[in-house]
Structures are given as C-alpha cells and as structure tokens.
C-alpha cells in the first residue's frame, strides 16, 4: 500500500437512513446495524483516498465523510 | 412553451424530442400547468442538484406530483415520499432494514422460483401478454411475500394498483363509491376510490398482525417503534399503500420495457447470452431505458437559483428523470439500448438524496433474477405488436405487450 494515501471514513448516524450502498460496496468497512439499519464503521475504517471519495459520493443521504 | 404534461401525449411513447428541446433551452423552462405552473428540470446535473438538496427543494411543503393538494388532503395522503426530515428520516428508518442489499438477498430464491414458474407458463403457452403473464405477477407476489400478505390476494391488490395508475391519467373508470368508498376522493391517494380499498385491506391485515404478530414487514410496521414513536394509523395505511403500489407498479414497468427492448434489439440479447458477465450493466440499462417513474416534483422552500434561473420560495420544481436519463452530456448515444454501458449513472431511482428509491436493491434483484431465468431457458422474445401504453405523464406504464417465443 506504499504510496496510496489511506483515509478514514466516518458515518454521520444522524443523517444515515440505512440504504446500504456503502455496505454493498465495502462490506469489510461498513456494516448496517441489524436493528436500526444505521451504518456503522467496523475496524479501523481505512480506505484508499480515491475509494473513500467514491463511496462518500455514492451515499444517497450524504452521510459519509472522510477524516484523517 | 413545450408541453410535456398533457397525459395523452404519452400514448404514443415518451416525447423525447420535446424533452430534448427543453434540455437544450438556456436555464429552466417555465411550464404552465392548471392554475400553477412549474420549472421543468430536464438536465441530469440539475436533477442531481435538486435531489441532493432537500433543505432547498422540499418534498413535504407541497405534493410530489404535479397537481396541488389542499392542506387537509395533503395531510390525509402524506407518505414517506411527501415528507421532509425529521419525519422522513423516522419513516425511512422504520422500513430501511427490510430493503438493504443484504436483507434483500434473503428473497432471491423466492423470486427465482416465482420467475421460473411464470416463465415456464409463458413459454408453454407460446407467448402472449407479457405484462399479464410475467411482468405484473412477479413483483406483486414478491412484495406481498415480504409484507406477509397472502399471495392469493395478489390479483386483487394488482387490480387496485392498476386503478391508482388511472388516477394519474385523468381517465377514471371507477364510480366514486366503488369498493364501498365513502371518503371524498380528494383525500385519497391518486384521487381514486381504489385507495379506499387499499387502506381498508391494509388496516385489516395490520389488525391481524397486531393481534397475532409474525416475522413479516406488516408486523414490523404495526409494532415497530422508532425514537419511541409508533406509526399513526394514517401513517401506517399510507405506508402500506405506497409499499404495495410502488413495490409492484414500477418493477412491472421496468420488466416490460426491458423485455420489449431485448425483443427489439436481439443483438443485445445475444450479447448477454454470450457473456453473462454483462448482467450488472444490463440491469442498469434496463432501468435507464424503462425509467418507470418519469418525474417527481419538489417545492422550493427558499428563494434559490438553478442553471442560472431564479426560483422563488413556493415555486414548483419538477425533475424529469426520463429526460435526465437521455441527457447526451452523460450518456453516449443515449437513444441506443446498450447493455454494456459503463456510464450508467441513471436517475431511475432518483438523483440521489434521502428520497433515493427504497426498493432499488429489490428491483435490481428482481430484474436480474428474471433475466438469469430467461437465459437459463434460452428464451428469445419476439415483438408481436405495439405496447398499449397508459396515458400517464407520471408512470411509464404499459397495460399490455404482446410478445412471442422465437
């Protein structure tokens, strides 16, 4: 992974409405809670910068942002 | 002014030439409509902008259809579709769990067995009305299974759903008191007495599940609590209505236009048969091609501007998905049915934002499973006549489509 900038994704639980696009694209990183269907970041939440941007962009409720 | 609202225009198919002409105008076109016109949003980029800014373009202030509703009618008919946060968020979270990609997978085998049964019947009969034999029964049976409604009632609920479509065409065939309706039509979804029957049915099944809970979506709707709230009776019956209606009508439309497209462009079907790895993009192309819901309306919550046009608070803003899905700025050769497109950011499930179609992953799964079962049977469809279209400016509905088995 040398040379690939890794960033941390964050889910805004207030905005998330449980569509599941993130879990579909990155099941290792995002997991929809079985009860609430709100997306939760599992593990360290690290993704290559380009991939994280794409996933944030694809979230229909714009609930995913990128931290460092 | 270029008219794209008169329903009868749609009897001959989508007026792509008219929509394209609006797309090419500078800014947004003001479209007169009844006593209160709207801004026609036809470009892909502008549909995305409206969709992703619900704080500016509200779903709850007005109606999400073209016509206006009086305040009491809007309240009586309000669904998850005609809501803004925080109400929308609460309603959406109540049901989102049932429709996530992971939970939709649970229904794949059920869907596959229904699709197999319907296709075998269609093939055995040498073809016929694709809508009646395949496209309509598949999604209604699946959504009723998810809801936990007896599948024997599929034909009745499909009939009600068909009458709701009529409510968007201005060609009602039902008397006001059909199904024993006693509610003023303006208080019923689509102004249809069939909505009264849908409400009654939903209330009855809801009462049964309240008394005798099961592991199904109706039970979840009547018993679930979100932030300590339960659905009010009005919220519940509108939710039931919208799940039955949207859960069958739109996917039926996609399956119908998809089958017609594969019959019209056999080279594309041959490509899919030769290379099933094209399935994912083929499903998306079917969705783009069909665009089952042709528009949704928003109402400006504040003064704003879009594409250089000033929009005043209270103005109606209508997103023409059917135009955005043919926008040459996004889609290369947009009038071509091409199952290998990579530029498949269609807006058939909306242009993003919190109202993104709840059933998107269910619809995708149903279309994929049906195509897989068609491939398995080497089914080649032939077009035996022109589709009979619904005279609707809202749904891209087809009432019947004669297809043969080639």
What is the three-state SS of B283-322? HHHHHHHHCCECEEEEEECCCEEECCEEECCCCEEEEEHH
pLDDT at A3: 74
Chain A residue at shortest CA distance from B360: A19
How many C-beta atoms lie closer than 10 Å to residue B220's C-beta? 18
- Shortest Cα distance from A14 to chain B (angstroms)? 9
pLDDT at B227: 58
The CA distance from A64 to A58, in Å, is: 9
Domains by residue range for chain A, with CATH: 6-67 (3.30.70.20)
Is some CB atom of chain B closer than 8 A to the CB atom of A17?
yes
Smallest Cβ–Cβ distance between A60 and the set B99, B102, B354 belongs to B354
Whether the CB-CB separation of A62 and B52 falls below 8 Å is answered with: yes
The CA distance from B197 to B241, in Å, is: 10
Smallest Cβ–Cβ distance between B352 and the set A18, A36, A60 belongs to A60
Query: Counting one residue from A and one from B, how many pairs have CB atoms under 8 Å apart?
Result: 50
Smallest Cβ–Cβ distance between B97 and the set A18, A21, A24 belongs to A18
- Chain-centre distance of CA B79, in angstroms? 14
Distances (CA, A) of B369 to A13, B152, B187, B382: 33, 22, 38, 20
B31-79 residue pLDDT tens? 999 999 999 999 999 999 999 999 999 999 999 999 999 999 999 999 9
A32·B354 Cβ contact <8 A: no
Share of chain B above pLDDT 90, in %: 87
B100-125 residue pLDDT tens? 999 999 999 999 999 999 999 999 99
User: Would you say residue A1 has pLDDT above 60?
Assistant: no
A6-61 residue pLDDT tens? 999 999 999 999 999 999 999 999 999 988 889 999 988 999 999 999 999 999 99
B343-390 residue pLDDT tens? 769 999 999 999 999 999 999 999 999 999 999 999 999 999 999 998
pLDDT at B71: 92
B interface with A, Cβ–Cβ < 8 A, is 52, 89, 92-93, 96-97, 99-102, 350, 352-354, 356, 360-361
B100·A62 Cβ contact <8 A: no
A32·B356 Cβ contact <8 A: no
User: Would you say residue B17 has pLDDT above 70?
Assistant: yes
B356·A24 Cβ contact <8 A: no
pLDDT at B166: 82
pLDDT at A35: 84
B134-158 residue pLDDT tens? 999 999 999 999 999 999 999 999 9
What residues of B are in contact with residue A18 (Cβ under 8 Å)? 92-93, 96-97, 100
Q: Which residues of B222-242 are buried (b: 16+ CB within 10 A; e: fewer)?
A: beeeeeeeebeeebbbbbbbb
Chain A residue at shortest CA distance from B356: A60
B253-299 residue pLDDT tens? 999 999 999 999 999 999 999 999 999 999 999 999 999 999 999 99
Is some CB atom of chain B closer than 8 A to the CB atom of A29?
no
pLDDT at A2: 59
The CA distance from B169 to B162, in Å, is: 11
Band of pLDDT at residue A68, cut at 50, 70 and 90? low
pLDDT at B228: 64
pLDDT at B169: 77
- Shortest Cα distance from B89 to chain A (angstroms)? 6
A20·B102 Cβ contact <8 A: yes
A61·B102 Cβ contact <8 A: no
Least confident of A5-14, B8-17, B222-231: B222-231
Whether the CB-CB separation of B307 and B27 falls below 8 Å is answered with: yes
B243-259 residue pLDDT tens? 999 988 999 999 999 99
Domains by residue range for chain B, with CATH: 73-292+325-339+354-405 (1.10.630.10)
Smallest Cβ–Cβ distance between A36 and the set B93, B350, B353 belongs to B93
Whether the CB-CB separation of B287 and B350 falls below 8 Å is answered with: no
State the best of B81, B352, B359, B363 to mutate against chain A, taking most chain A CBs within 10 Å.
B352
């Amino acid at each position: 992974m040398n040379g690939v900038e890794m960033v941390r994704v964050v889910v805004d639980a207030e905005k998330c409405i449980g569509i599941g696009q993130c879990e579909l694209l990155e099941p290792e990183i995002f997991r929809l809670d079985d009860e609430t269907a709100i997306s939760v970041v599992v593990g360290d939440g690290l993704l290559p910068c380009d991939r994280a941007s794409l996933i944030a962009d694809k979230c229909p409720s714009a609930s995913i942002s990128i931290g460092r | 002014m270029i008219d794209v609202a008169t329903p009868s225009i749609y009897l001959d198919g989508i007026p792509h030439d008219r929509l394209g002409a609006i797309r090419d105008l500078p800014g947004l076109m003001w479209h007169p409509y009844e006593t209160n016109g709207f801004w026609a949003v036809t470009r892909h980029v502008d549909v995305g902008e409206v969709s992703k800014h619900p704080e500016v373009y509200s779903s709850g202030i007005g109606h999400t259809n073209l016509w206006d509703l009086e305040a009491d009618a809007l309240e009586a008919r309000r669904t998850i579709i005609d809501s803004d946060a925080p109400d929308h968020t609460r309603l959406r979270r109540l049901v989102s769990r049932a429709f996530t990609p992971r939970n939709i997978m649970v229904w794949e085998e059920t869907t596959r067995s229904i699709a197999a049964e319907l296709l075998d019947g269609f093939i055995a009969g040498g073809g016929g009305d694709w809508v009646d034999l395949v496209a309509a029964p598949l999604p209604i049976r699946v959504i009723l299974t998810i809801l936990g409604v007896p599948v024997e009632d599929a034909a009745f609920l499909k009939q009600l759903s068909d009458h709701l479509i009529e409510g968007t065409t201005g060609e009602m065939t039902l008397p006001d008191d059909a199904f024993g309706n006693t509610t003023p039509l303006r208080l019923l979804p689509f102004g249809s007495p069939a909505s009264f029957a849908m409400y009654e049915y939903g209330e009855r099944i809801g009462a049964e599940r309240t008394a005798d809970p099961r592991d199904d979506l109706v039970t979840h709707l009547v018993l679930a609590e979100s932030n300590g709230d339960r659905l009010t009776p009005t919220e519940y019956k509108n939710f039931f209505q919208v799940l039955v209606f949207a859960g069958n009508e739109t996917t039926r439309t996609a399956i119908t236009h998809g089958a017609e497209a594969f019959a019209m462009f056999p080279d594309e079907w041959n490509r899919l048969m030769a290379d099933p790895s094209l399935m994912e993009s083929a499903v998306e192309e079917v969705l783009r091609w069909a665009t089952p819901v042709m528009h949704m309306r928003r109402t400006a919550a504040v003064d704003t501007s879009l594409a250089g046009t000033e929009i005043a608070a209270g103005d109606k803003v209508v997103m023409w998905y059917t135009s955005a899905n043919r926008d040459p700025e996004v889609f290369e050769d947009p009038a071509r049915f091409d199952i290998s497109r990579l530029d498949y950011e269609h807006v058939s499930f909306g242009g993003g934002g919190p109202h993104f179609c709840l059933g998107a992953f269910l619809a995708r799964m149903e279309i994929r499973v049906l195509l897989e079962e068609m491939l398995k049977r080497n089914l080649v469809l032939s077009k035996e006549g022109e589709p009979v279209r619904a005279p609707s400016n809202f749904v891209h509905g087809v009432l019947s489509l004669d297809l043969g088995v080639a």
